[in-house]
Amino acid sequence: MPDRYRQMIDVLSRAKRVLLTTHVRPDGDAIGTTAAMSMALRKQGVESEVLLLTHVPHKYEFLYSDNAIKWRDVEKGWVEGPAAEAASPYFARFDTLLVCDTGTWSQLPGLRERTANWNVPKLVLDHHLTQEDWADHKLVITEAAAAGEIAAELLEQWEIKIDAPIATALFIAIASDTGWFQFSNTRPFTMRLAATLMEAGVNTDEVYKHLYQSERPQRVALQTRAMQSLELLANNRMAVMTVRKRDFVETGAGVPATENLINIPLQVASVEVSLLFVEPPEGGPVRVSLRSKGAVDVSKFAESFGGGGHARAAGLKLETSLDAAHERVVAAALEKLSTIPISADPSDDD
């Protein structure tokens, strides 16, 4: 067994009660991976609970509710009081922390302050390039298409049987992070794992309905607003969309409804980079999502603003107004794009 898996398994095997968490605005990979790990820990006689820093998106909630996974979100406030009370009764219930699908504090708002004096093993299971050195043990495989891939390999090394519920959670993790196996991060291992999970009992038709045919009208209305804001810049090489606070208020949608909106402009053949600016209705920093077809490494671009992610998918936050964030980031992106040779124009013929 590789050492990187052995270390993680040794710590989890000694645990009695594990607190699982993931990044703010959890996506399918985050929810699927935490759900799979929670069910796997249960098989090993280890109790667990998932702590979410924002609400679970409606289309993924069934992974927790259908599998009796304990979870709580703190979007409206931390239940244990102010951050100064790091040794709170809530955290004291757990003897291990497992963070999935992120390795940076910026994606875990409020958690750093509350765990600074919490003397338990802190573990990270992740596939993102951007990392910080705060965990006791890290299982980070950047070539993995999703954190769910790493979790699946971990369970295999741990010799935990992947049954249908765990397989479904893992399948959703990898399917959502690969755009149903369309994105460039899909590798042969991803397809072999998908087949193995299907053999374990995944109902792909039901999964597809949950991921792509279960949207609420509010999200579709918000998507329309985002599309209406579309700007094509740099000779149509860069797409920019903006979702303002009033768009959330007037459509009744929440921030989770912005998931995957960033990918829509990539349908345009000439677009090489896509940016999505989001002004959260509850206030706080402006959120900027970035996607690339490969010409621009958006993880490095995001890191220059304190963010991070992957070469083709990254994000950042700015404590400023939406208009100021838009002006600053778009100007920097245009400057970066100007250094990239223009690709051959695709034919306009159908």
What gap in Å lies between CA 77 and CA 75, rounded to an integer? 6
pLDDT(79) > 90: no
pLDDT(117) > 90: no
Q: What's the confidence (pLDDT) of residue 28?
A: 95
Torsion of CA 303, 226, 101, 210, to 10 degrees: -170
Cβ contact 230:241 at 8 Å = yes
pLDDT(85) > 80: no
| Percent of the chain's residues with pLDDT above 90 | 75
Domains in the chain, please, with CATH? 3-212 (3.90.1640.10), 217-338 (3.10.310.30)
pLDDT digits (tens, 9 = 90+) for 290-304: 999 999 999 999 999
Taking residue 69's Cβ as centre, other Cβ atoms within 10 Å add up to 22
Sheet holding 17-22, edge to edge: 71-73, 47-52, 17-22, 96-100, 122-126, 137-140
Picking from 64, 60, 61, 29, the residue whose alpha carbon sits closest to that of residue 50 is 64
Q: What's the confidence (pLDDT) of residue 214?
A: 85
* 172 token code pair: 């959703």
pLDDT(34) > 60: yes
Q: Is 99 helix (H, G, I), strand (E, B) or coil?
A: strand
pLDDT(307) > 70: yes
Q: What's the confidence (pLDDT) of residue 78?
A: 66
pLDDT digits (tens, 9 = 90+) for 201-254: 999 999 999 988 888 899 999 999 999 999 999 999 999 999 999 999 999 998
Query: What's the whole-number mean pLDDT along residues 264-274?
Result: 95
Q: Residue 85 phi/psi, 5° resolution?
A: -85, 65
- Which own/partner contact pairs does 131-137 have at CB distance under 8 Å and 24+ positions apart? 131/103, 131/104, 132/103, 132/104, 132/105, 134/105, 135/99, 135/103, 136/11, 137/7, 137/8, 137/11
Q: What's the confidence (pLDDT) of residue 350?
A: 45
What gap in Å lies between CA 296 and CA 285, rounded to an integer? 24
Residues with Cβ within 8 Å of 98's Cβ and at least 6 positions away in sequence, in order, are 12, 18, 19, 20, 21, 37, 123, 124, 125
pLDDT(345) > 90: no
Sheet holding 231-233, edge to edge: 231-233, 238-243, 273-278, 286-292, 313-318, 308-309
Of residues 147 and 308, the one with the higher pLDDT is 147
Cβ contact 51:19 at 8 Å = yes
Picking from 232, 217, 296, the residue whose alpha carbon sits closest to that of residue 265 is 232
Q: What's the confidence (pLDDT) of residue 346?
A: 47
What gap in Å lies between CA 49 and CA 21, rounded to an integer? 8
What gap in Å lies between CA 231 and CA 242, rounded to an integer? 9
Query: What's the whole-number mean pLDDT along residues 4-25?
Result: 95
Residues with Cβ within 8 Å of 135's Cβ and at least 6 positions away in sequence, in order, are 99, 103, 122, 123, 124
Query: What's the whole-number mean pLDDT along residues 5-32?
Result: 96
pLDDT(187) > 50: yes
* 82 token code pair: 């102010």
Of residues 74 and 193, the one with the higher pLDDT is 193
pLDDT digits (tens, 9 = 90+) for 124-169: 999 998 899 999 999 999 999 999 999 999 999 999 999 999 999 9
Burial class (CB in 10 A: 0-12, 13-18, 19+), 193: buried
Q: What is the pLDDT confidence band of residue 75, given thresholds at 50, 70 and 90? A: low
Q: What's the confidence (pLDDT) of residue 80?
A: 55
- Please indicate, yes or no, whether the overall pTM of this predicted structure exceeds 0.85: no
